[in-house]
Structures are given as C-alpha cells and as structure tokens.
Amino acid sequence: MPLPLDGFRIIDCSTVLAGPLAATHLGDFGADVIKVELPQSDPLPMRATRLHEERNKRSITADLRTEEGQDILLRLIRDADALIENFRPGTFEKWNLGPDRLLKENPRLIIHRLSAFGQTGPWSSLGGYDRQAQAISGATYVTGFPDSEPVRSGFATADYMAGIWGAFSIILAAYWRDARGGTGQVSDLALFEPMLRASEGSITEFGLSGSVRERAGNSNPGVVPASNFRTRDGVTVAINANNDRQWARLARVIGRADLAVNEDYRMPSRLKHAEEIYALIGEWVGARDVRTVEAAMVEAGVPCAPVLNVRQILEHPMIRGRGSIVNIPWEETDLAMVAPLPRLSASPGEIRSAAPRTGQHTVEVLKGIGFDANQIAGLAERGIIGKPTS
C-alpha cells in the first residue's frame, strides 16, 4: 500500500533541528524529501542526531549564495509541494530567494519559514536556539525546584515541538490548497511559539487573577498527590492521583483507608494536606521495591511509571512490546530509533533509511531536473555543489 504522502515533495533547506524535523515527520509517511545543504569542505559527521532526525531523505549540495545554486533550487521547486527554511530572517531574501520569487516560480508552493523569533516583530532579525526559546516562552522559569535557579529541559523540547508544528502547518496549508481550491502560501513559525502554546492556562490565569506560576519541583500546581518517590531499591517512580476516585484507591493502597472517605481530603481541600500526603506516600514507597510498588499501583488503577534513563528505555518491556523503538539497518550495524508517529491503523509510517551522507544524491537529483553529466561536473569544479558522497 502507498504511504499517505507518496508523491508529496518537500525541499528541505533547513539546518540544525526544528526545521529538518518538520520534513522528517512528513518523510516518515512517504513524502519525498530532498535535503539541500551548502557544500562543506569537510562534510558534517554522521552524528546520532543527524542519523535519527534526517532519516527518509535524499541529500544534495548547492551553494544557494550563488546564481547557479539559486537556479538549482528554482528548478527543484517547480514540481515541489513545500519548501522548508530556517535561516535568520532576511537571508533567503538576500540570496534572491524570497517568497515572492519562489511563489512566482511555483504558485502552489507552501513555504514553511522557521526562525527563533519569527519573520515579524522587534526581535525578528535576532538568532536563537532551543535554549532561548525555552527561556522566553516561560518554560525555563517554571522548571526546577522553588529554591533553585530555573532549569532548561534536558531535551531540546522547543526544537521538537516546533518540528511537529511545522509538519502540522504544512499539512494544513496543503489541505487548504488541494481540498479547498487554495493557493501556495507562507507559514511563519517562531521557535518559541509552540512552547508558549504549551504553557497550559498560565497566561490566562495571570489575566484573571494576576497569579504568576512558579517552580514547583516534581509536584503539579493544583493537583495533590502528583510527584516522584524513591523506592527501597533506589528507583524513582512517578505517581499521580488526579481525581478523588484515584486518590481513594491510592489511600487504601498505602494503608490509609480512613483518608479515602474523609471529605476534607477531597479536591480542592486536599491541597491543604499536601505535605502530609506526600510524606505518607513517600514512606510507603520507600519501604518497598519498585516491582512491589508498580504491581500495587497497577492493581489499584493508580497511574505510576518509573523514571527511566536511555538505557532503561531501550530495555523496558512496555516500550519494546509496543514497538515504540525500532532498529534500522545502517552500514554494518543497526540503529535504534523512535518509530514514526502517530500510529495510523490503515496507513502507518515507516523508516525507509537512516540519514543520507551530505550530497549523497546530488547526481541523481540534478539529473532528474535536467542537468547532464557535463553540467554536473562543471558545477562541482566551480564549487556550486560539493563532491557527491556515497
């Protein structure tokens, strides 16, 4: 069966993480993604992030700073559905590749532009990365313990969320174009905006009450109990009882059935007893090993999960059993990767290849848009394209 996006072509001119991820998500479901990279005197090393996040793509090199490189891109977009770029705003215009020129070449083209602070506004000309996006979105401020400095997320959360929103924006624009009789258009996404959208109700709450959400460590504002606890054998487990039914079951598990029926321990009154409740749960969990704790919580229907590192993730029977991690052949080894998301019952995505080497498909792609062998050799001699790799 064909994949959902078979025949949908994306020209990916983006670098680093969030931009490429938008293309990768769509490539997992069949999109033909052509990665356009600037020629490098020393090709980028095949680091784990590149192998994982540039999968399902073909790679060519072209110096977009030159007229000949720009001509290559213009030829590429003639039958493309979308183009992705995440250079600092104004860079594509400086290279004479702004939206006006691209849409004149292909009026159906969807141009997804990702930048640190967006194409408009007083900070549009500034650069930035995941760290700055997490900082300005408020995510860093609320992460950590009350008596500590704010902490950035251990993963590049802003980049990954922006990748998802980028893919979403391209699909939205494609549906409007193809199913609603629309045209090509520009999608403008700032790296911090998906994190801002994930700020729960904190912005609205401030507007209503003037309340500023603060760091709360492992607890959740407005929910008790919701925290992490250490087992006797040194495993940290995350336990939540977000409603009164779950709390009643948890209270019985830890031997405090009296609290399960005590009206003063129903929400929101239960918030007043947070310190007592956390001490009771911590004592109960701390006296048992992780298998006993997990079994008791599962039997009671209380959400519980261990806090895992990457080695434990790869070994965990639930994650392996669900197929959330898959192994992909690459050269003489297998690479573990996160499986395509979401899971579609009739047309699931697939990982057809790990990331290509820089310029690996230059000859193949350029021949496909009308260049002959002599022209390709000339482009390589003039440094417009790099030496193709294989």
* Catalytic-residue membership of 159: yes
**276 Cβ neighbours under 8 A, 6+ residues apart:** none
| Distance from C-alpha of 46 to C-alpha of 61, rounded to nearest angstrom | 16
24 Cβ contact list (under 8 Å, min separation 6): 33, 53, 54, 55, 56, 57, 163
Measured between alpha carbons, how far is 282 from 219 in angstroms, rounded to an integer? Answer: 13
213 burial via Cβ count (<10 Å: 0-12, 13-18, 19+): middle
Q: Which of 359, 370, 380 is nearest to 60 (CA)?
A: 359
**Out of 28, 159, 244, 264, which one is annotated catalytic?**
159
Residue 359 · residue 387 · CB < 8 Å: yes
**Residue (of 304, 145, 307, 292) closest to 240 by Cα position:** 304
Residue 202 in tokens: 């904190």
**Count of alpha carbons within 13 angstroms of residue 8, beta-carbon side:** 24
Q: Please give the positions annotated as active site.
A: 159
